[in-house]
Each structure stands twice: as structure tokens, then as C-alpha cells.
Amino acid sequence: MANLTPQQRQLVEQWAAEGSTLNQIQDRLRGECSTTLTYMETRLLLMELGVKIQDKPREVPPAEKPAPPAPAPGADGELPDGEPVAAAPAGASDLNIIVDEIPPPGALISGKATFSDGNTIMWFLDQMGRFGMRGPTADYKPPAADIPVFQRELDTLLQLRGF
């Protein structure tokens, strides 16, 4: 494996204990010890030494604050002062999202969503990571209040499935 002196091995253990990533350890070996190791050689060295890289703590999203009740929108979907309609709280709309068992060719995952107005769209995530939707008509736009709920629900579904 890597021909490191005991002092260099101790340095590697110290760097890992300080929270350095594998790439940082590899860079420090090259810079401070004049030892060039590949990424895989560095991983194997850490395994040989029994050193574990510390995981960075995941950022916890802040708790959502309940939204104050919004005034009733006008006929055009906007509030009387011209602001768009506020998002409905999660689960407050009649939104239904399903995932297809077998996605169509070119899609990694796909499904259907039925919005509160009763219209159903087909949604998909293609192999390039692009999101797309096909509505019942070319000019169809989902209700404004359903969009934030759709985004949250779809995000949750995709995360549960590893996307």
C-alpha cells in the first residue's frame, strides 16, 4: 500500500480527527508530505489505519410557521391589492399525485397529478434531470394555490424514491 512513515500516518489520523474530508487529506499528503496518492489509494489507506471520516451534520430545515388566513381572491385569482393568491397549507388542497410503475421511454420517473380543478396532468423527470409536465390542453395552467402543494408533494415523493 502507501509507504508512509509512522509520523505521516499519525498526521493522516490527526487530519481525519479534525474533520478533514478524504479529498483534503489527499491534498495535504501531496502538499505537506510530498506523497501523491490516488483517491482510491487514500481510501484504502484510511481503511488500513482504521480511520473514519466524520460525516458533516446535515442541515435541518427550519420549522414551517403556520400561514395567516388570506383574504378571498378576486375572480382573476389575485388578491384585491394585486398580489397573487397565497399558497394553501400542505394537504389543504384536493391535489392527488401518483407515480407510474413503468415510466415511458426517456423518463427516469413519471406519474400523474390531479389538481383541485379536476384536471389531470402527466409529469416526468427525464434522463438529464429535466422536469416536464403535459396538461390536458397546451395552454392549461394548474390553480395557483395548488402549485406550492404540488411542488412539496412531488419533492417528497422523489426524495423517497432516491431522486
| Band (121; pLDDT cuts 50, 70, 90) | very high
End-to-end CA distance of the chain: 36
Neighbours of 150 (CB within 10 A): 20
Task: Supply φ then ψ for residue 159, to 5 degrees.
Answer: -65, -40
Nearest in space to 72 (alpha carbons), one of 146, 155, 145: 145
Alpha-helical (H) ranges within the chain are 6-17, 22-33, 39-49, 146-160
Our measurement of the distance from residue 46's CA atom to the centroid of its chain's CA atoms, rounded to an integer in Å, reads: 29
> How far, in Å, CA of 127 to CA of 108, rounded?
6
Domain boundary assignment for the chain: 6-49, 96-160
pLDDT digits (tens, 9 = 90+) for 25-74: 889 888 988 888 888 888 888 888 888 877 666 666 666 655 555 444 44
Of 84 and 107, which is predicted with more confidence? 107
Q: What is the residue type of 78?
A: E
pLDDT digits (tens, 9 = 90+) for 108-117: 899 999 998 9
